[in-house]
Amino acid sequence: MMRRGVIAASNLGRVASRCVLNRSNSASRSLGSRSLGSCTTIVSKSHSSHSDVVIPGTSHEYGSLGDSPSPHSKPVSWQAAHNLDIQQVTQKALIYELTQQQASKIEAVVPWFLENMPESYFRQIPETFRMDHIKAIASLKDTNMDLFMNLKSHMPDGREVYTFIRPGTSPGTLLHMLEDLRDNDGTDFHDHKPLTRLHVFSTKDESMSLNMFVYGTKETTSVNVAVEGLASPILEYAECVQDGQFANDHDGRHPSPSQLFEREHLISYLKKCSLNYINFGISNPRRFLQQREIIHSVSGTEGTSVHIEAEENEPGHYWVDVAVSNTRPRVALENVCRLLYLHNFDVTRSRLDVVRDSEHGNITVLRMLVAPAAGCEVSQTTFDVLRREIKRSKWLDAVTMKLVFDDYLWLGVTRGEIITAMCSLIHPVLAKENALVFSKSNIVECVSKKRFIKHAADIATIFLDRFNPQNPLPDEELERRCKLVVDEIESSVEDTVALEILNKMVHVVKTTLKTNVYLPNRYALSLRLDPTVMVSPHEEERELPYGIIFVHGRRFNGYHVRFRDISRGGMRLVTPRSPEQYALESARQYDECYGLAFAQQLKNKDIPEGGSKAVNLVDVSGLSENSRNAVMRNAVKSFTDSILDLIVSTDETRENIADFFGKPETIFLGPDEQVTPEDIDWVVAHAARRGYETPAAFMSSKPRAGINHKEFGVTSEGVNVYLDVALRRVLGIDPSKDSFTIKLTGGPDGDVAGNEIKILVREYGDNAKIVGLADVSGCAEDPDGLDHEELIRLVDNGLSISQFSEGKLGPSGTLSTCNTEEGTKARNTMHNRVVADAFVPCGGRPNTIDINNFSQFLREDGTPSSKLIVEGANLFITAEARKALFYKAGVVIVKDSSANKGGVITSSYEIIAAMLLSEDEFFEHKEGIVGEVLEKLRQLAKLEANLLLTEFETNGGSLPEVSQIISDCINVTTDALSTALDALSTEDCEALLPLFRAHLPQTMADMAFDSVHEKVPLQYIKNAIGSCLASKLVYKEGTNFILSLPKDQLASIALKYVKKEQEIAQLVEKLSQPDGLTDHDRAKVASLLEAGGARTALKMPE
């Protein structure tokens, strides 16, 4: 913990007027704390005391830090109280004595300082700082104190400079200083002022280290006018490189000719650099161009580049150059310092710069002169390992770093990363057995114990051998190796908790089908898993997903779950604010992802893609807002890149990934909670860089070439269709004529709730009375209906319900905000308390209403507060609570997988558009395409809504049960057809293409359907034909028709159905023409009417 010390007031000169600060971790180096107004203190430690007392006063060896004076002692002044002459003489004598001592000490310090500080110090550090350093060092030596001091200075432009002076040089000195520059919560000293520059120096006699940390950014000034003259040494050296003057350079110290070094390119680059960085380049153009190469290699990416070479003028020293894109400079510096320390390197000189990377962000550039500690030998292998670990360090989780850097150096980074990834992966499974015993922290702690870490390491070794791309472990050998490890565990581990954890880790190895562990530039560790790995014996049997991808990275863990080979679903970020909440979310992360993906699968019934979902759990606890956002953005990038590792087919992936799955996989993502437009742009661009087959389709809702769900209200358009049909057929309310009441969760500033408000006002006007609305900020309630104009104002301005004007409330209206306990309680209970005809949850956390609290939705007489619920939000009500509400209180619930499918339909059309049209083509016709998409989704919503209520009225059961039956029937038929289409001839498949064309918006089909085979993958076309035919069949004939068919004949009958439907269409066409029917046609019409006429007539309006 930080302690502040006493002021060394005698010799500070100008330094004393600066803010000076100690942040030593060693209590022995601190002498206590004393406030001196607003000035922070200089701290040092004295090893001896003077026998001659210069300043009269207490004679105790430790001054006020020793024993307390006797309570009977009188205060003693250090000067005579009444003799002014004696006072003046004493002052003059003291001043003379101190001046002589200081002058003598400075005379000794200056030559030593000039001789021992490196030349780069005098070149890089301004004179004012050099003078301050000399004075500070002299003051320490004058008082026989250690060279241990922290100085804080302010630059004229507002930047802050922290100078750390320490005795000696040794590995870890710089790392310990960085740790001192943290607050107790682990954040930067001034998080709002990032570390932007570093200078590290050691004296030649190794008696002192002097490091300077610059915090804050300097306002950019243009160097356009002077750059050519200013940087002429760099440009001249580059010209020599381009002319081939170093072509015979066999040691590789000079860079090779490159377009980067062409004069125009280099001048353009220099204009983006700071003057300070250009001055560095002037002093050593060769190193400047070397850094230019590594900076270029990471430009526009999220990567890290490392260059290491020997220093020819200082034997035994090596330059380590590192370029890291889009990282916090202090984090990059600390990571590199930690690795250098662990590999026994001392940093003798260092420099940090931050270079702008256009719209891509910034690149942190580190240059370090290092030397191995005394007695330590280095080899090429040492540098290879160091280079690899530095590149990984940006993405390593803190738990992994502790395990491999602090606890078990022999373990190695890769094995440590595998172990911590497995601990995170198995946590949701084991927690179902006992959430306390198998908490995430307990799992990690258990595996990390000395008794068990060897077993965990052996499991990680098998994992690495299994997926070694040069010689992957065959199935038989995998089984043999796993059995040996299990036998060893069973015989030597008595702890039942450890036994279960380790055995589950072995199961993970067996059920992993491919991994990116051997990719050299991966961002995180990803595993393509057999879904059985996530099955717990302590849960009810449920449908297995098609595939699971798990990603473990820095401050995050992510699952991607999908229920069909080609799938689409959103990616959401979950960011708990506290470690406790993070632990809870970790235990249920997989189930949340599974539930969302399954709901997506049910609602994706009308489109070619199956259902999927990605849930990325990000640890942001203890971070400032800026750091929190940076961590979230990196989590999106790392998670996405790691998924791409497993699904793209490039030379790099084919060479480095052992694939035991053996099939191509197609995944489409979409934005969900906390994913930003900038994230979407990055993901699409990165998919293109990584070689994804259809990068523009990889993520939906692109700002220009997408259909923004919130802007066009696509989810709410579908929700309102279900609400309209249910009001009419369940409650007997014609909303276009009759008044009705409704309550909503989700804010006016949200997607679904905000757009639903607009649609209610648009479609029904004053008939729609919104009597309650709750969001994260509070709730508004009014039995007469909340003012429509005020609600639309909030929607249009993106404001929450807490901004509702109280003057717009009716006589009985109330506004409650969450800045009070009462307001929070009102918000949390609004959806239960307020009575309305219908309740439409449009926002809120999953499982808000569950089996334990569903009774709160009922009034005292047992009747529900709303008889109708239309689920605009996913998983707002659990399956058990839906059943209880229906069977105990008669609440009719339109399930989320039906009600809010408008969003997934829109995203599917966007995926198809990205494959068929260029961005410019789509943008040119966007208005027309969007209008057609909205009409398509309303049609599909109405088809299902009418079938849903027809089967509900005819067959009974609850609406959620009927909804799932409809989804299951369509999905089963789709899967059967997709398989059957593989066996059809090309000609027969072509005959079915009109189904796919009819599914598309007219404008899109007219523009590009002729090139569908060139632009759309064959499997996607087959899925599209299957889903189009399946949904058409179910919506027209009902679920009983599908359920009555033998499963092995389902596809063949469906294909026959298409042919028969075409024949009927031809007959209908002939009927509309005079004398269009032949005798054969008339007989066929008569047979059709006789076979199905009565049944069909029952469905038709009279």
Report the chain's terminal Cα–Cα distance, integer Å: 85
Q: How buried is residue 329: exposed, middle or buried, by Cβ count under 10 Å (0-12/13-18/19+)? A: buried
With 0-12 / 13-18 / 19 or more C-beta atoms within 10 angstroms meaning exposed / middle / buried, residue 119 is exposed
Q: Which two tokens stand for residue 250?
A: 């066999």
> Helices then strands (H, E): number in the chain?
40, 23
CB hemisphere CA count around 424 (13 angstroms): 31
Secondary structure class of 790 (helix, strand, coil) = helix
**Alpha-carbon gap, residue 476 to 458, rounded angstroms:** 18
Q: What's at 652, amino acid-wise? A: E
Q: What are phi and psi of 800, to 5 degrees?
A: -80, 170
Helix axes 84-116, 127-142, angle to 10 degrees: 120
Amino acid symbol at 569: G
* Rounded distance between C-alpha atoms, residue 697 and residue 718, angstroms: 23
Q: Which of 105, 603, 613, 743 is catalytic?
A: 613
DSSP string, 226-294: THHHHTHHHHHHHHHHHTTTTTT-TT--SPPP-GGGSHHHHHHHHTTS-HHHHHHHHH-HHHHHHHHHH
Q: State the Cα–Cα distance between residues 214 and 365, nearest whole angstrom.
A: 14
883 catalytic per annotation: no
CB 956 within 8 A of CB 887: no
The rounded distance, in Å, linking the Cα atoms of 43 and 146 is 10
Backbone CA torsion sign across 487, 488, 491, 495: negative
* DSSP single-letter state for residue 75: P
User: What are the φ/ψ torsions at residue 399 (nearest 5 degrees)?
Assistant: -65, -40
Cα–Cα dist 536/907, whole Å = 33
In sequence order, the β-bridge partners of residue 66 are none
Q: Cα–Cα–Cα angle for 1055, 1061, 1065, nearest 5°?
A: 150
- DSSP, collapsed to helix, strand or coil, labels residue 573 as strand
Identity at 914, one-letter amino acid code: A
CA 138, 142, 144, 145 torsion: positive or negative? negative
334-444-478 Cα angle (round to 5): 105
Q: Which amino acid is at 373?
A: A
- Closest-CA residue to 831 (of 909, 920, 902, 742): 742
Sheet harboring 666-671: ordered strands across?
512-515, 525-529, 547-553, 556-562, 610-618, 566-574, 666-671
Tokens of 112: 């030593």
Which residues have CB under 8 Å from 390's CB, separation 6+?
Answer: 304, 306, 320, 322, 335, 336, 339
Residues annotated as catalytic (active site), given as ranges: 613
